[in-house]
Amino acid sequence: MNMLKHRKATALTALLLSIGLLGGCTSGGKAGDGKGAAKDAAPKEAGIQLDLQTPVKLLFYDETNMSEEVFNERFVQPVKKQFPNVSFEVVKPGKGTYVSELAASGIAPDLFMTTAWSFPLEINTKLIANLDEWIVKDKLDLNGYQPAIVDTIRSFSPNGGMFALPYSNYASALYYNKDIFDKFGIPYPKDGMTYEEAIALGKQVTRMDGGVQYSGFFPGNYSFTYALFKKGFVDVPNKKVSFNNPEMKQTFELLKSGFSTQGMEYMDYTAALNKFYKDKTLAMMPYHFDSGRLEAETKAGNVFNWELAQAPLHQGYNRNGVPTMLAMSSQTKHAALVYKIIAHLSASVEYQTFLSERGVLPVIKNDEVVKKFASKLGSLQGKRLDWMAKMKPQLLYGPSEYDRVPDKYITQALKDVITGASDINTALNKAEEQSNKDLQAQIK
């Protein structure tokens, strides 16, 4: 290994330790110990016996809306390799198939790929099973996972149950267009900038040039920024929303300053992403690390001089997020098989290496897995990844199944504030009133 590759591998090891991505285990043994890399692929062990002869078709609920190509690559083929009798049918959220409608629809998935938005509802409506007994039976050592990952998943359950295993992890980043900074002779963004510093830097590149309007720093939407304050949206026991608080007001003030200081017009993430990737007129934006989008843009020929840096800090912390998770249906007739598939995808060195090579942030502790991060992605070759080692993700608030209820009202409130149609207090009071009305109709 040459020195450059060695430094990159060392930096990657540090970055995954720093943001809670290292930690995990193989079935029946810890990952990263150099043992069990072959054993962890074996479906029969630790008291769980499987029939791998009889064909089984499992219904897979994909909340992440993967393309057929990605699903075949990341699930169909790897699962078939270890569980040759298994095939999948995929259900995605849509009219009649949203999580809240599954019970009434008669659709009964066997396993779920889930995220923070639907996970609480899946737990509370008993769509998914508590995996604790299976984990004990399988001797899956959760101490191998970073405590932050396990604690985050357990925080969704009122009783601290482990209703899923982690599949991939989360990181936020600052995306920036080097061409815009070069054009105006402005230094590139630095790691460790605060939001205020990012706004000030963005102001320097927000300008009209040659009939083209360049925007500096898109500060994000309310949910991305509000997460920095570790506050929730709904007070479920008292059946009312809880977002109209000093922290949300600070969020609005920060975002309002971000737009007004730079002289930028209001935009949402859809517009910001278009300006960054398509128009190439947005200099910077904070966003979750999305290697899939970066690779897709590169393959489509949309190549420009972009780079990544550490996401802006608030009070010394970066925005954190919930890992993508795999959960087992409480109604599946193939519980042992489904659990072993989930455990393999979550904890095996072989599979997590496969993900890591493709730029998916791994969840197990293994230096070799880390060293291969993004090695098969052309879009990330030569790009900075050392910013991840500097991340300081904060703890998460306790989420609820009703967190989406106020979303459209808070979004409109922010837009009204940014465009000058309302002041912060009036806008949030209105959003609170509207949200409580909807919430009362949903909380039983």
Q: Indicate whether 195 and 159 sit together in one domain.
A: no
Strands 86-91 and 56-62: parallel
Question: In angstroms, what is the C-alpha Rg of the chain?
Answer: 23
Write the pLDDT tens digit of every residue in 394-439: 666 767 888 889 999 999 999 999 999 999 999 999 999 999 999 9
Write the pLDDT tens digit of every residue in 340-353: 999 999 999 999 99
Q: How distant is the alpha carbon of residue 413 from its chain centre?
A: 25
Q: Indicate whether 113 and 30 sit together in one domain.
A: yes
Q: In whole angstroms, what is the distance from residue 227 CA to residue 248 CA?
A: 10
pLDDT-wise least confident of 67-71, 99-103, 243-247, 307-311: 99-103
Q: Nearest Cα to 329, choosing from 165, 110, 107?
A: 110
Q: Indicate whether 147 and 200 sit together in one domain.
A: no
Domain total of the chain: 2
Q: In whole angstroms, what is the distance from residue 333 CA to residue 318 CA?
A: 42
Q: Which residues contact 194 (CB under 8 A, 6 or more apart)?
A: 312, 313, 314
12: pLDDT strictly greater than 80? no
Q: Indicate whether 355 and 429 sit together in one domain.
A: no
Q: Nearest Cα to 403, choosing from 173, 227, 168, 247?
A: 227
Q: Indicate whether 261 and 144 sit together in one domain.
A: no
Highest mean pLDDT among 136-145, 211-220, 358-367: 211-220
Q: Nearest Cα to 309, choosing from 181, 166, 212?
A: 181
Mean pLDDT of the chain: 86
Identify any residues that bridge with 30 across adjacent strands, giving them in sequence order.
25
Torsion angle, CA of 221/224/225/228, rounded to 10 degrees?
A: 170
Residue with tokens 């291969």: 372
298: phi then psi, degrees, rounded to nearest 5: -65, -45
pLDDT, position 316: 80
Between helix 424-442 and helix 407-418 the angle, nearest 10°, is: 170
16: pLDDT strictly greater than 70? no
Q: Indicate whether 332 and 193 sit together in one domain.
A: no
pLDDT, position 171: 85
Q: Where are the beta strands (DSSP E) in 17-91?
A: 25-26, 29-30, 56-62, 86-91
SS3 for 70?
helix
Q: What is the DSSP letter of 309?
A: E
Q: Indicate whether 19 and 134 sit together in one domain.
A: yes
Tell me the whole-structure pTM to 2 decimals. Answer: 0.82
Q: Where are the beta strands (DSSP E) in 142-230?
A: 165-168, 172-177, 207-209, 212-217
User: Which of 355, 372, 390 is where one domain is finished?
Assistant: 390
Q: Indicate whether 193 and 335 sit together in one domain.
A: no
Query: Are 16 and 362 spatial neighbours (Cβ–Cβ below 8 Å)?
Result: yes
Q: Indicate whether 285 and 408 sit together in one domain.
A: yes
Q: Indicate whether 277 and 412 sit together in one domain.
A: yes
146: pLDDT strictly greater than 90? no
pLDDT, position 46: 47
pLDDT, position 370: 77
Between helix 407-418 and helix 246-262 the angle, nearest 10°, is: 40
Residue 22 sits in which domain range?
Answer: 3-170+322-390
Q: Indicate whether 68 and 153 sit together in one domain.
A: yes
Report residue 285 as tokens. Answer: 């934006």
Q: Indicate whether 380 and 407 sit together in one domain.
A: no
- Calculate mean pLDDT across residues 311-315: 88
Strands 212-217 and 282-288: parallel
pLDDT, position 401: 86
pLDDT, position 394: 62
Q: Nearest Cα to 153, choosing from 114, 125, 126?
A: 114
User: Which of 369, 390, 411 is where one domain is finished?
Assistant: 390
CATH for 151: 3.40.190.10
